[in-house]
Structure 1
């Protein structure tokens, strides 16, 4: 398990800068949800990593969707990118695309790569700001809030 970084080691962002980065992270998460990305999560890494503040992690349904999410995010929030981002076919083929907004890092995966790298577990000491992950279908069916199964129809 990662050790917490002492507060004196973490260069604290000014409150207004932190709020601006949080707004950016949430805006990116909202766009990704709008574009049908799955299991979108925003993690606050400020206390466990001195290099960046937030991760936005999302899953694309296919390589084509991965490329589309990358393009749409870069287009909508490109003014915050330190340089123009180009996604090569190799980036998409790898199943993992990273967009680096300096204090906000966006990780877009296809399902297999997200499960393999499991950043949520790797950075488990970080706080979660937004969690739009869906429980597996079997868990949803057992949930007390789940709709009851449909009654069988008689013929």
Structure 2
């Protein structure tokens, strides 16, 4: 399989498709490019209702991004507990939370300077 170079926008839309496929909720895109000393350009954040759904969202994102974008996550953590799974595609990092864990950590609040876009899906 040859690796195709896809744009960050294409990667983000493929990630969102993976989230939507298993009914991930409350999808937010945080644009971090105008903030100094960030680890990546974008965060994609979403919620699931249980550790089973969080795991399913994580698997769906990795499968669809792998298949359609030929991109493999550089690093994935949190899948065993599945309260907060982080999928790192280098300049795009995906955070899949259970709702109460997301509220507790409040990533959107911590990165309040980021441009935030709420993503509407077919749910």
Q: What TM-score bracket applies, with the shorter chain setting the length? A: 0.7 to 0.9
Could you tell me how far apart the structure 1 residues matched to 2:75 and 2:14 are? Answer: 19
Q: Give TM-score scaled by structure 2 length.
A: 0.79
User: Normalised by the size of structure 1, how large is the TM-score?
Assistant: 0.64
1:34 Cα shift?
3.2
Which structure: larger Rg? 1
Q: Distance in 2 between matches of 1:30 and 1:82?
A: 16
Q: 4+ residue runs of structure 1 moved beyond 6 angstroms?
A: none
- Give the direction of change, closer, same or farther, for the CA distance of 1:84–1:75 in structure 2 (3 Å limit): farther
Structure whose residues are more often strand by fraction: 2
Q: Is the 8 A contact 2:54 2:98 kept in 1?
A: yes
Q: List alignment gaps of at least 5 residues for structure 2.
A: none
Higher relative contact order (CA 8 A, sep 6+): 2
Matched, 1:66 2:57: no
Partner of 1:51: 39
Asked if the contact 2:76–2:86 (Cα under 8 Å) also holds between the matched residues in 1, the reply is no
Higher percent of residues as helix: 1
Which structure 2 residues correspond to residues 143-154 of structure 1 after superposition, within 5 A? none
Match of 2:94, SS? strand
- Structure 1: any 5+ residue segments left out of the alignment? 1-16, 134-155
Counterpart in the other structure of 2:97: 109
Q: Say if 2:67 is the partner of 1:80.
A: no
